[in-house]
A and B are shown apart, each in its own frame.
Chain A
Amino acid sequence: MYDMKALYEAESVDHAISLLVEHPEAMVLAAGSDVFIKLREGKLAGREFVSIYMLDEMRGVTLEEDGTIRIGSLTSFSHIVESEIIQEFIPVLADAVLMIGGPQIRNLGTIGGNTCNGVTSADSGATLLALDAEVELKSPEGVRIIPLSEFYIKPGVVDLRPAELQTALLIRKAAYDGYIGQHFIKYAMRNAMDIATLGCSVNVKLSDDKQVIEDCRIGFGVAGPVPMRLPQAEDTVRGEVISKDLIEAFGEATKHDVNPRTSWRATKEFRLHLIETMAMRCLTESIIKAGGVVE
């Protein structure tokens, strides 16, 4: 039995928002995988919760008229993996969330929960950032849309205002159109049921002759306090001709962007070593997937 003071079950998004207005102390319970863990540890014991888990209107992946991919915040990881839209345009997101936990966790866990946690090890974070994702937020004041990069504030803290719900993640057409080279690498101590030591997501757009990297975006999880992009590494390769040396320069440049820390899970030195290695491998794979050749 979970030690909850009260549980309010929302029947619609608007109802959820009004429940949150009514009970300002209450926490949002999406799929709850980590809320339940904290409850058991006694950390959130005795709190009130507004459950939004039953809100099917917040589930599903759709392609909007302007080409925006809209992922309802409660869409489970397995439904993202199975989505034809995701598979066609941003398969890297499917690859990334397929690395989460095991089947049970992927059926339960939601992309919204994964981003609202504000944890740097969230497996979807690096990829969503690398895809310039935006978040849709709804509150009594209305709807606002902000870049995911601005949504992350600091570990465990995201830009959610009182009584505000994250309702969807949006990926614009411009962010995926032509970026056919996409790759994700998760580094963990086990091959399943593990949290990331690091997560790296790269996508590239090559010139028509496949010789030049027209654009490259790289996102990392656990390379800093929150999931982050690596602007200097991206600048290093943007507009450059593909070569082994370029890949090495890319790896080298990651050092200037990242800020990993030592914890009992891994030392800073080890993470730095891996960041460089993973960035190079991830870029190489992305180029190959885009039809380029690295030699």
Chain B
Amino acid sequence: MAIGKRTIRVDAYDKVTGRAKYTDDLCDKNALVARIVHSTIAHGYVKTVDTSEAERMPGVVKVLTCFDVPNRPIGTAGHPWHLEAAHRDVEDRLLLNRHVRFYGDDVAVVIAEDDVTADRAARAVKVEYEELPFVLDVREAMEDGAPQLHEEFKNNILGHTSIYKGNFAEAIKEEGLIKVEGWYDTPLVQHCHIENPVSYAYMEAGKVVVVASTQIPHIVRRVTAQALSLPWGSVRIVKPYIGGGFGNKQDALYEPLNAWLTTQVGGRLVKLEISREETFYATRTRHAIRFHLTSYVRPDGTFVARKFAAYSDQGAYASHGHGIAAKGMGAFPQLYPCDNLECDAYTVFTNKPVAGAMRGYGIPQAMFAGEAHIDDIAKALDVDPLEYRMRFVMPKGYAENFSMNVNYADSFRECLEKGMEEFDFKRKQKAYANQTGDIRRGVGVAVFWYNTGVWPISLESSACRMVLNQDGTIQLQMGETEIGQGADTTFAQMAADTLGIPFKHVHVISTQDTDITPFGTGAYASRQTYMGGFAIHQTALQLRDKILKHAQTLTRMPSYNLDLVDGYIVRTTDGERLMSLGKLATDVLYSMEYSEHITAESTYQCNSNAYSFGCSFAEVEVDIPMCKATLIKLTNVHDCGTLINPALAEAQVHGGMSMAIGYGLQEKMLFDEKTGRMLNDNLLDYKLCTTMDHPDLTALFVENAEPTSAYGTKSLGEPPTCSGAPAIRNAILHATGVAINETPITPHVLFERFNEENRFERLKEEQEEMQAQPVGAGAR
């Protein structure tokens, strides 16, 4: 069996030798080079674009502007198409925009023969604007009279949804309730995949071909065809290896523009490479969400009524839109069930870079707020925050009506127990209870739950093709994409086991080519192992049936007494190996009577979802005078069902934990209030974690096989990012007694909060007291 083994990645050799080809590695070096001219105002209209100087430069092939593009608004979100118009994504931007809505919006494009010329020409394009007032703050954007970004959306509200249950107003009248209330703020952050978005496009056989670094080739094909008003079959998207995506490349970013550019230069090859700076301000971000949470609890800790309000900063265009805030809100009532609820989520346009999908899709934000709030409640009640969670977090057997999810096992408590033990949490909690001095330690915990895939909101389906080779190996093709997480390897493990052939006999075709690859919506929503698993399972059974039918002919045994085991046709009655699959494949293909190219292909439509669970434990050391919090230890525990490949699962968790550390302590996109320009649009000023900013990371698992799943598995891609930041925040609270309700908890934030709570003076007083004590009495 391959499943459950720490199987080496199928792409490891190519990646360590530098042979794995990514988009730019495949592009002809003589491609024309495109450069985008971005707006230098946050809001307004382009009045004129003077391209004359740029056009005069030798080597400039074409300059195209917002006055040239097709007047067909596009929706860029990487969601499956919906047959009902009401469920489709908002289409609110053109390939280049005359109404510019953020500093960095796309205004014009230069196509030149080389990069130096393209840069010079892009700088020489002169844009004249009619400036409009702009708004950067999400709450201000909702006010009457605020600058309006999109006419159709009054007060800039892109979406507002609610969850109401019971009777909040009545419930809070109960005597003796304790009210805990707080504002919690999460930042705008960026995915920072190390490969920037890049694509190249050309025309061939009457089609537009785009090779692109994307997570969602089939969706990009649809969006590109729509943007160019082409029949969908006239667009071909090819996805080679990609250098990370994390949700940013779950949008049609610049592929539609690139496709259009080649059509404007007679189908010549045009490369569109996005710089790191552009990646920051002009691709997608994770929504900054501001939360206001109120809980009424009884002195025994039980929840009586809860209120949740979220204000999500969409930036300038809809992209994934309200889905993120709605998902964050959806997590809230389920995590700590409560009878009386008032939940509202708003998604609001501002003149900032566009927020889209990013690993966690609203849950890292919601968990920061929700789990910080739980510690605030525990503090108000003076109870142990871990015990509090143990008592009140989603109980075993909890079922949810919309997603039909069921908490089959008692995953939360199992995860918490396991983590607590490894972490030595209780002992540390005690040891750090009464500290003095400049440097103090603390421990914290936080939990999360996560969905698997997007059913029932959207289509969930996956298709798979298996082709038997003459040597008994197979080609495995999936529409679901390898983006670094190890999908290809786990797919091969599943296929090998269900089919009954050795892992090494599965050749995964890593590249998706929409002309060839079966349909799949791609890498997002932590869906692929679960969804792809169904399609692989179903297709493998079909292929196996075909093989065994031929085996009956070739071995003279009834197929019901035959099995495919480890690449051999085995007689089940006595375990005898009758022939190898390779011999069968060759004999069948070249048979003069019944020749067949044995293949199987099928689509599985999934109508289920699955709860994934987990928690984080964090230990910090806070240097109060230096305003620095250092993470000493971080442990994540996950129940994502059966592990297909434990080593890859651990690796996934490490990466997510790292993002959570950045989210908790370091990362934030900053903007100039006067212009709306992003200030730190590079990897020096945007504080992505380096090797020096991490402790060692511990990833643990509780394996409760998911009953709805083909292989017992459920989501893991995004979950590791969800609970780290609040665990760190709660550890800082434990260490210092100071609650910090915003992330990232940078030295700037610590300075402000320590000042507000007079921590520096208190330290001085403490020291003076110590000095005042007679020699020998002090605790030296």
Contacts and interface: CB of A to CB of B under 8 A. Distances in A.
Q: Do chains A and B touch in the complex (CB under 8 A)?
A: yes
Interface of A: 1-3, 42, 45-46, 102, 187, 189-195, 197, 244, 264-267, 269-270, 273-274, 277-278
B753 to A, nearest CB: 12
Contact of B687 (A1, A190, A277): A190
A264 B679 contact: yes
B748 A267 contact: yes
Interface string B669-687: 0101000000110011101
Contact of A189 (B114, B626, B666, B679): B666
Interface of B: 114-116, 119-120, 123, 625-627, 666, 670, 672, 679-680, 683-685, 687, 689-693, 746-748, 751, 760, 771
Nearest to A1: B116
Contacts of A244: 771
Contacts of A187: 626
B658 to A, nearest CB: 13
B460 to A, nearest CB: 40
Contacts of B666: 189-190
B42 to A, nearest CB: 16
A3 B57 CA distance: 14
B692 A192 contact: yes
Contacts of B771: 244
B370 to A, nearest CB: 27
B626 A193 contact: no
Contacts of B679: 264
A199 to B, nearest CB: 14
Contacts of A197: 747
Given A190-B687, A193-B684, A273-B751, A3 B693 contact: no
A48 to B, nearest CB: 15
Given A3-B116, A193-B684, A266 B748 contact: yes
A74 to B, nearest CB: 23
Nearest to B680: A264
Contact of B119 (A45, A192, A193, A277): A45
Contacts of A274: 626-627
Contacts of B625: 277
Given A190-B666, A190-B687, A191-B690, 7 more contacts: A3-B116, A102-B690, A190-B692, A193-B690, A244-B771, A264-B670, A269-B751
14 contacts: A42-B123, A45-B123, A102-B690, A187-B626, A190-B690, A190-B692, A192-B691, A193-B690, A195-B684, A264-B670, A266-B748, A270-B747, A277-B625, A278-B626
A189 B746 contact: yes
A243 to B, nearest CB: 11
B735 to A, nearest CB: 18
Contacts of A195: 684
A264 B123 CA distance: 26
B592 to A, nearest CB: 61
Contacts of B680: 264
A274 B684 CA distance: 21
B687 A194 contact: yes
Given A189-B687, A264-B672, A270 B692 contact: no
Nearest to B277: A41
Nearest to B276: A40
A1 B760 contact: no
A42 B125 CA distance: 14
Q: Kindly name the residue among B115, B116, B680, B683 whose own CB sees the greatest number of chain A CB atoms within 10 A.
A: B116
Contacts of B690: 102, 190-193
Contacts of B120: 3, 45-46
A42 B371 CA distance: 46
Given A42-B123, A264-B670, A273-B760, A194 B684 contact: yes
A193 B685 CA distance: 9
A105 to B, nearest CB: 10
Contacts of B693: 190-192
A197 B626 CA distance: 12
Nearest to A193: B690
A191 B626 contact: no
A277 B439 CA distance: 13
A189 B751 contact: no
